Amino acid sequence: MKSTHPIFERLHAGEAVPFSDAAYSEIGKVAARTMELSVELNNAPDVPTARRILSQITGQNINESTTLFTPFHVNLGIFTRIGKNVFINSDCSFLDIGGITIEDEVLIGPKVSIITEGHPIDTKDRKSLIVKPILIKRNAWIGAGATILPGVSIGENSVVAAGAVISKDVPNNCVVAGVPAKVVKRID
């Protein structure tokens, strides 16, 4: 179920949408459907069942080579795209209104947060939602407890150390660590 409701088009175009906007309730409608399916997902008896339910949440056929361990949390799911042979460990949280793309062969450790949403800094506009997409490129490895913030890209073959906070793009073939994360090593 990919929503083409105008509020999502406005958010994806870069508009800050205030909570008071008449169309804001559309986000809640999609979230309610996702919450209902999430109960099933997080009570799935096995990986194939979890993958099937995640396919319903995302509206995308999740490839059988992908593994998802529960619990798993996503607020909408319809803006998440997951490639082949992806591993998502337990207790991850995806806020995907801005769009999350996870390419093939990606490893995601436990308790990773991928957040495409935020709020303006200016206090008069803070009760608005702004979104930016996240791209995790092929063969990246996201360590346990890492946080990936809106609008960043994780480079191909790169490693995000456990607990790192990613606030800027990560180049290909490197290891980043820290808060905020910085390149600590190049990978040959």
Active site residues: 119
What is d(CA 78, CA 114) in angstroms, rounded to the nearest whole number?
A: 15
Phi, psi of 178 (to 5 degrees): 105, 180
Residue 138 has which token pair? 């092929």
Name residue 159's amino acid.
V
What is d(CA 12, CA 45) in angstroms, rounded to the nearest whole number?
A: 36
Q: Are 74 and 53 in contact (CB under 8 A)?
A: no
